[in-house]
Structure 1
Amino acid sequence: MDRRRLLLSTAALGTALAVPALPAPALARERAALPPRDEILGALRRAADHWISAHADPGDNQWARATFFSGLTALHRATREPRYLAYARSWAEKHDYALHNGVTTRHADDHNAGQAYLDLYEAEGGTDGAKIAAIEDSLHRMTYTDRPEKNDDWWWDDALHMAMPPFARLSVLRGDARYADKLHALYTHTKSAEGGPGLLDPGTGLWYRDKRFLPGGIGSPAGKPVLWSRGNGWVTGGHVKTLKALPRGAAHTAEYRGALVRLLRALRAVQREDGFWNVNLADAAHLPGPETSGTSFFTYGLAYGVRTGLVPRDRYLPAAAAAWRGLVTKALHDDGFLGYVQGVGDRPESSQPVTYGTTADFGVGAFLLAGTELLRV
């Protein structure tokens, strides 16, 4: 990307992000308080229980279902409810703790299941190495034996959620910095325009989904940039989970913290008054309406940022509280069905229309991650 295109990108995004959509200060203060812990837990249980009761078969081990189980294992950590662990275990055992496409895969989506396998390994004592043998074998190959110099595997922003955390967690578990170094090399390729697609827009801190959406490529019908909500949600989740895994003083954590803070700052500026975010963060008129999966991941990031002091509590807790209120009052049905989830896709136009009656496994998983993090604020 040349400098002129980058400057045009930044100017266009700056215009798109110029008008904050948050409520006036007095109303923002009123919204700052989260609901009681029991209310948050009740909403989480309703969503999880509805999904489990509707899916006797726990499903495949691909990225979408794996994201649900990442959320469910987080709910188990918060509640110690045995049936949540049992359902997650039944899913993992159905697949023999294996990866979609096997241990030779380099595709980040395939590594997402490894997050839940690592969760189960830790929840059940951290002694049964068979639970994490496949994810460890696959990441070891990428780091040590299968073209370890190749760092261009993550060419889309979703990859940061799918595969950053397993690399980080394995690095800590095995006391091996090579995994963290490999993670950073892959991340740098995705982020940088120097030899990579350059998906991070340095002027705003938001991320393009892939190179097709860079300036001069795919735009909205009004000619504004396309910065997909869930794509930035994946980025948010990936940074949070990686920072949770790595020691605070580890190499590159300052870079990851800085990237997350800039992303949260940009998100706060374009939040809707009902607490949600639109599917295109840079164009509120582009398929406007609430969207749950991106909103849930952003709530997860905001809650983590407030809890850890990365962002000011008085400015960012109101955004998290408003988002949670929107999710539970507008998207969560009385029976626990979670609506307004955009289905599988790569842009705002994908899986439209997004309605009160549209849901998906990864959206429920993101909702569970958001709520369990809010419990810790």
Structure 2
Amino acid sequence: MNRRRLLTGGAALTAAATLLPTTRAAAAPAPALPSRAEVVRVLRRVADHWITAHQDPGDNGWANATFFSGLLTLHRLTGTPRYLAYAREWAEKHAYGLKGGGTTRHADNHNAGQAYLDLYAIEPEERKLAAIEESLHRMVYTDQPEKNDDWWWDDALHMGMPPFARLGVLRGDPAYRAKLYSLYDHTKRIEGGPGLYDPATGLWYRDKRFLPGGILSPSGKPVVWSRGNGWVTGGHTKTLKALPPGEPHTAEYRETLTRLVRALARVQRTDGFWNVNLADPDHLPGPETSGTSFFLYGTAYALRARLVDRAAHLPVVSRAWQGLVTTAVHPDGFLGYVQKVGDRPESSQPVTYDSTADFGVGAFLLGGTELARLLG
């Protein structure tokens, strides 16, 4: 049976009917776009607050690694020495290693490799890539290279796609990009039976428990987790930034991100945020920063890459930024309304003005820097 068609039956069509007609934000006038200088000022304030509050740069797990991905992106934009020094201190503390060591297959553990690749690009030294390259090389060549079911949850696309893409390009080895696609294809079309991607909506389920027939919201609607789709958005965006346009699967990654960004525009709230459950606005309603920041990141990139219509999607990024800076960013740079670690809308509730997390700050820095680049 064609796996692409398995989610186009009754439950998936119900999800599509729930999601796609929602256009509340489109009816409200969008705020004016900020200047690039305004955006950079806010990004510096948020980054500086986090660094000042965390003199120890922390562990090399997926959450903190997401922060450093955002911080190094801001460093590339601003050239601020403090940001590079803090990231270098973090990487040296962990000897550029991975949780689980060189034998790990877990995408969460590979996330630190993104920051190591960033640091290598600034100051090339092979030792910085030894751990991430050993781990990915084993998956590609020696450790069950036919096994492709490691990415069983959609967060893994953000953690795992970019290192495979970037290392494959850096080493000129197409086998890394082929392995990337095999892992991706399993997540998209095979995991749980039909795969985690819903072709009827362009959105993604977090894992197989939430597929049609599985976990529903209290009102009986699908659970399409905001940050899960945020991780997917970030993974596709970073991968497209890394791959050459003519790579065999670039067109599919581009088309998938485009559909996702268009779907997100239809369910954005009037205040610029997205709900924790994209399929049910009444399921724990309230602002949430991490998903919103990743959606800002992906939409701003899609605009820069001319994947989506400018007139239709500039209001999306202006609303998102306005919502984040007026609601989530405290005067001193503390970033609130971040849903902490979890796997669904109910996780780490309630989400409040004082809820924050390293990966949420990283997502905000990624989104803001991409907006700054869009603004010129």
Q: Normalising to structure 2: TM-score of the pair?
A: 0.96
- Contact 1:109 1:162 (8 Å CA) reproduced: yes
Matching residue of 2:288: 291
Q: How far apart in 2 are the matches of 1:256 and 1:5?
A: 19
Equivalent residue runs for 1:231-242 within 5 Å: 231-242=228-239
Q: How far apart in 1 are the matches of 2:9 and 2:45?
A: 46
Matching residue of 1:65: 64
- Contact 2:294 2:364 (8 Å CA) reproduced: yes
Q: Deviations over 1:304-327 (max 9, x none)?
A: 000010001111111011101100
Q: How far apart in 2 are the matches of 1:296 and 1:287?
A: 18
Greater Cα offset, 1-10 or 280-289: 1-10
Helix, strand or coil: the match of 2:373? coil
Q: Deviations over 1:102-151 (max 9, x none)?
A: 01000000000000000000012x2x000111001100000011110111
Q: 2:137 aligns with which of 133, 137, 140?
A: 140
Helix, strand or coil: the match of 2:198? coil
Q: How far apart in 2 are the matches of 1:4 and 1:137?
A: 37
Q: 1:85 to 1:14 in 2, by over 3 A?
A: same
Report the Cα offset of residue 8 of structure 1.
1.8
Helix, strand or coil: the match of 1:341? coil
Matching residue of 1:204: 201
Q: 2:25 aligns with which of 22, 30, 33?
A: 22
Q: How far apart in 2 are the matches of 1:135 and 1:177?
A: 17
Matching residue of 2:10: 8
Q: 1:310 aligns with which of 307, 310, 329?
A: 307
- Structure 2 unaligned blocks of 5 or more: none
Q: How far apart in 2 are the matches of 1:310 and 1:90?
A: 37
Q: How far apart in 1 are the matches of 2:7 and 2:285?
A: 27
Q: 1:178 to 1:13 in 2, by over 3 A?
A: same
Helix, strand or coil: the match of 1:190? helix
Q: 1:153 to 1:45 in 2, by over 3 A?
A: same
Equivalent residue runs for 1:260-279 within 5 Å: 260-279=257-276
Helix, strand or coil: the match of 1:93? helix
Report the Cα offset of residue 14 of structure 1.
1.9
- Contact 1:151 1:185 (8 Å CA) reproduced: yes
Matching residue of 1:336: 333
- Contact 2:222 2:279 (8 Å CA) reproduced: yes
Report the Cα offset of residue 193 of structure 1.
3.4
The number of equivalent residue pairs is: 371
Q: Normalising to structure 1: TM-score of the pair?
A: 0.96
Report the Cα offset of residue 374 of structure 1.
0.6
**Structure 1 position 368 matched with structure 2 position 365:** yes
Equivalent residue runs for 1:70-219 within 5 Å: 70-124=69-123, 126=124, 128-193=125-190, 198-219=195-216
Q: How far apart in 2 are the matches of 1:193 and 1:159?
A: 15
- Contact 1:106 1:138 (8 Å CA) reproduced: yes
- Contact 1:300 1:374 (8 Å CA) reproduced: yes
- Structure 1 unaligned blocks of 5 or more: none
Equivalent residue runs for 1:349-360 within 5 Å: 349-360=346-357
The two structures, once aligned, show a CA RMSD in angstroms of: 1.4
Q: How far apart in 2 are the matches of 1:140 and 1:196?
A: 28
What letter is aligned with 1:203?
A: A
What stretches of structure 1 move > 3 A for 4+ residues in a row? Answer: 1-6, 193-197
Q: How far apart in 1 are the matches of 2:17 and 2:310?
A: 26
Report the Cα offset of residue 13 of structure 1.
1.5
Report the Cα offset of residue 5 of structure 1.
6.4
- Contact 1:160 1:187 (8 Å CA) reproduced: yes
- Contact 1:22 1:272 (8 Å CA) reproduced: yes
Q: How far apart in 2 are the matches of 1:8 and 1:290?
A: 31
Matching residue of 2:51: 52
Greater Cα offset, 317-326 or 14-23: 14-23
- Contact 1:197 1:211 (8 Å CA) reproduced: no
Percent identity between the two aligned chains: 70
Q: Deviations over 1:347-375 (max 9, x none)?
A: 00000000001000000000000010011
Q: How far apart in 2 are the matches of 1:194 and 1:358?
A: 32
- Contact 2:149 2:191 (8 Å CA) reproduced: no
Q: How far apart in 2 are the matches of 1:341 and 1:195?
A: 29
Q: How far apart in 2 are the matches of 1:137 and 1:325?
A: 43
